[in-house]
Structure 1
């Protein structure tokens, strides 16, 4: 007898409209200030300001991608897309991460070149623009922090804007040093600090979105531990073909084949397993096949000739057999 339990739940759509408003407000602030900063950056001959403007451009692109991805991912499942287009958000996060890595590489090269041959930098322009940039980015960061950052899509755009805030702080400090001391290399050093921040944030986004694409278990979920606990439920003989993955960030799914003792209530075991993974791990989407164990398994200890992954069986010490 096979019982298939399905639990469904995904909260991205609950606050979707509010999230879009927050991101749109941040986008308007960033685009307006970016145009001003590009002009002042060239006038002041400041790499730090130009790098900030470049970063703000990627901020704007990141938010646009995030907004598009949010609308695409909200579409209902249809045709061959049985989960809908929810992974559009992960594609957006991956693009944001890659652009941060590429920008960091460019500004590292340009920063080193300017340390070797520092240009004349107008420090006062840099300080004034940097202070204005801090104010703009504080407002944009505040707006985006109110959105649902459990979504890698939103988190990717947020990291862009947050890193730009740090960049403006570094730029303002560098501008003050250039203005007060005339040491032009401070501007290039600030650009290198910005590049390091971009590198860190970009790598984090590429790594986390890559885990989703590779269908790895969500961070913090141990499939072996979950299999062991499921195998320890009453009447369970074996748990195998256990798979845990993320459809998109914050949307974990699980499937498994559970074998129970002959005569046991398959429905009751399925409900107990669903409750276990929901209450302890927050997994709301489950597909569980529950069957009575064949006599061969009870006597020989083998069921599937080619199981996908390890089998989990109850033991006297509560560990995996």
Structure 2
């Protein structure tokens, strides 16, 4: 067994919980204000932006929940721990966003036929206030985005919503100076179409992780070629790479080797995978011939190397 366990067990982003809580409080409070404001001013653009701000609130809540739940140790029933909670929540968030986005598009079509009177001044004030809230939230999160994928995802959500607020402000100004009420629906449609692709990516990536697919940032063919290129390695099979949660990849593989110095091969493979692919949670088995699935030959020699990175 390889004994290299030089890593931290503290969940990434733990030190940023306070800032996440502050950003969540600000964003959730303004979400309520924006929904009420959108109804009062009859601005679909505000309601559309509120739908996007809802993704900010969800992303922040998921980030906080993932940090807290990831602290729970693995047990006999959940040997990989509780990291999958983040992915389940993200998939639910994506499905909910699809429903909201399609409703916004449907409502916008109806309003194009008969635009209602819109209180552009109130729309402008609320959107400007929303932009200020987003800027404050971005300031709170910018320092932690390099340390945690959760925090980075939340930061990008807030940044995207800030751009949506700018769009609503522009729409309100156009309505104020031109009286073109259809601009409100046009802005809502633009925000909706902008959110949909990002929502699809979120759902696609979540499903890929739940199906234990190869992560998008992993080149399986390149990994296989590099493993075969190691000294005394003649073949690679049963190669699997999947994610437990975002940014936490796992690899298992069988190596066919021509030496009895298994540890040397295992150490070389472990070093290469960590250096070239940032894969630190790996299980590698060495053997002198390709084993049949479901069959263990007692005459084959095998050795397993395990390294774990729970950071």
Q: TM-score range by the shorter chain?
A: 0.7 to 0.9
5 Å-filtered alignment, 1:54-65, equals 54-65=51-62
- Unpaired runs of at least 5, structure 2: 295-311
Contact 1:235 1:264 in 2 (8 A): no
CA deviation string 1:109-146 (max 9, x = no partner)? 11111112110011111112211111111222332343
- Report the count of equivalent residues: 294
Give the direction of change, closer, same or farther, for the CA distance of 1:65–1:305 in structure 2 (3 Å limit): closer
Secondary structure of the residue aligned to 1:253 is strand
Q: Equivalent residue for 1:271?
A: 267
Residue 8 of structure 1: CA displacement?
A: 5.8
C-alpha separation in 2, matches of 1:57 and 1:229: 44
Q: 2:46 aligns with which of 45, 49, 62?
A: 49
- 1:179 paired residue number: 176
Aligned residue for 1:21?
A: 18
Q: Distance in 1 between matches of 2:31 and 2:205?
A: 29
Give CA-to-partner distance per residue, 1:157-182, whole Å, 9 cap, x none.
44543332222111111111111111
Q: 1:32 offset after TM fit, Å? A: 2.5
Over aligned residues, Cα RMSD in angstroms? 2.4
1:304 aligns with 2:291: yes
Cα deviation, residue 95, structure 1: 2.3
Look up the SS of the partner of 1:119 in the other structure.
Answer: coil
In structure 1, distance between residues paired with 2:23 and 2:2? 42
Do the aligned residues in 2 keep the contact of 1:46 with 1:121 (CA within 8 Å)?
Answer: yes
Partner of 2:97: 100
2:214 is paired with a residue whose SS is: coil
Distance (Å, rounded) in 2 between the aligned partners of 1:95 and 1:11: 30
Structure 1 length-normalised TM: 0.83
**Residue of structure 2 in register with 1:121 after alignment:** 118
Show the counterpart of 2:303: none
* Distance change in 2, residues 1:47/1:242 (3 Å): same
Q: Alignment partner of 2:53: what SS?
A: helix
Asked if structure 2 preserves the Cα contact closer than 8 Å seen for 1:237 and 1:260, the reply is yes
Q: Distance in 2 between matches of 1:148 and 1:26?
A: 13
Question: How far apart, CA to CA, are the structure 1 residues paired with 2:25 and 2:90?
Answer: 20
| Mapping for residues 138-153 of structure 1, pairs under 5 Å | 138-148=135-145, 153=150
Structure 1 position 278, deviation (Å): 0.7
The equivalent of 2:257 in structure 1 is: 260
Q: Distance in 1 between matches of 2:106 and 2:10?
A: 42
Would you say 1:234 and 2:221 are equivalent positions? no
**TM-score normalized with structure 2 length:** 0.85
CA contact 2:13–2:148 (8 Å) conserved in 1: no
Q: Which runs of 5+ in 1 are unaligned?
A: 295-302, 308-321
**8 A Cα contact 1:131 1:168, kept in partner:** yes
Q: 1:55 to 1:234 in 2, by over 3 A?
A: closer
Quickly say closer, same or farther: Cα 1:152–1:91, change in 2 above 3 A.
farther
Sort the Cα spacing of 1:162 and 1:12 in 2 relative to 1 into closer, same or farther, 3 A.
Answer: farther
Aligned to 1:299: none
